[in-house]
A and B are shown apart, each in its own frame.
Chain A
């Protein structure tokens, strides 16, 4: 969308991405949590959390995908046009398969950020990992045990994703040789 030649699409996508990227997730989360009921849209906490997180990471992923598409040499597009492929076909068969391979490590990096950001939904009282740690601290007076366990769990997820990312990067380098 961001790369589309139609200016309206470009403007809308640009506005969405810029506004998400320059405001904190917490503000976005509160925006939906406190704001949607006044539009008579009643979602429960988990739905609100998922909505805010999706919109938030969608904007970052859009930037990553855009960078991936731009990284494909223009000659590819021109050659595909010369073959008589339509725009959709060019995107589907020529550009995206090449672009996605390059973007995977960045996408995994974004995924790590997403997992960490998901801790914020505890603030609108969704019972997830961080919230569990908070309850441990407030109800059983064991903040150290609670929060260190939480941190350990997050670290496990982080290292798993990081490992995947290095694996994929190695594969990319291997393929290029």
Chain B
């Protein structure tokens, strides 16, 4: 019995790889876009003017407080009511981007704030403008604090991308879900799904640990 199921599973392997590709694609796109948004918002968060930091704080709080599943439902089911109809793929990418962007903005803001104030003041005394200060003085120092949790956040992003399967995007998790309807061997099917995620996430987790050790080593 198990052998038959196993054979069936081998036959669906291309489908799994296709799903894996979708997972990588959707998390890759939102990884790049989310990082961009995260860095901009994280920087704005440290600006003490025009209520910007409060606004960004509210954005981050909202994203951190509400489950991703609810976000994706809001984007996929409520936006059509105001006339924005999205396909599953863009909806998923947007939801993931906005979600990851909030977390990354928190990381970036913490990184920028970790640079002592004297650095910025000294740079001002040198006659550098705001952009130059950020680009040449603050940022190079902040990156060391930002990098390890940023990679950790990418791991979360890949894992959260599994949730987009609920709006019908055929990523690895959905392929598993579809397969288990035909091959009623959940342990095997989702074991395989787990292994595929493991292949992506495990190296990333170790990269994060490695960066963390490297940073703490450098600062000694």
Interface of A toward B, CB cutoff 8 Å: 18-19, 21-28, 30-39, 112, 116-120, 122-123, 130, 133-134, 137, 143-144, 147-148, 150-151, 154-155, 157-159, 162
Contacts and interface: CB of A to CB of B under 8 A. Distances in A.
A112 B67 contact: no
Nearest to A145: B78
Contacts of B200: 22
Contact of A151 (B70, B161, B201): B70
A144 B158 CA distance: 28
Interface in B77-124: 77-78, 81
A34 B70 contact: no
A152 to B, nearest CB: 9
B51 interface: no
> Chain A binding site: helix, strand, loop or mixed by DSSP?
helix
Nearest to A161: B65
Contacts of B163: 24, 26, 120
Nearest to B193: A27
B18 interface: no
B67 A30 contact: no
A122 B68 CA distance: 13
Contact of B177 (A23, A30, A150, A157): A30
A24 B187 CA distance: 15
A38 B202 CA distance: 28
Interface residues of B, number: 44
Given A24-B159, A130-B67, A155-B66, A31 B78 contact: no
B168 interface: no
B176 A30 contact: yes
24 contacts: A21-B155, A22-B197, A22-B198, A22-B202, A24-B161, A24-B163, A26-B162, A26-B163, A27-B172, A27-B173, A30-B176, A30-B186, A34-B184, A34-B186, A34-B189, A36-B186, A38-B184, A137-B77, A144-B78, A147-B78, A151-B70, A154-B66, A154-B67, A162-B61
A60 to B, nearest CB: 11
Most A CB atoms within 10 A — which of B81, B155, B193? B193
Contact of A28 (B165, B184, B194): B194
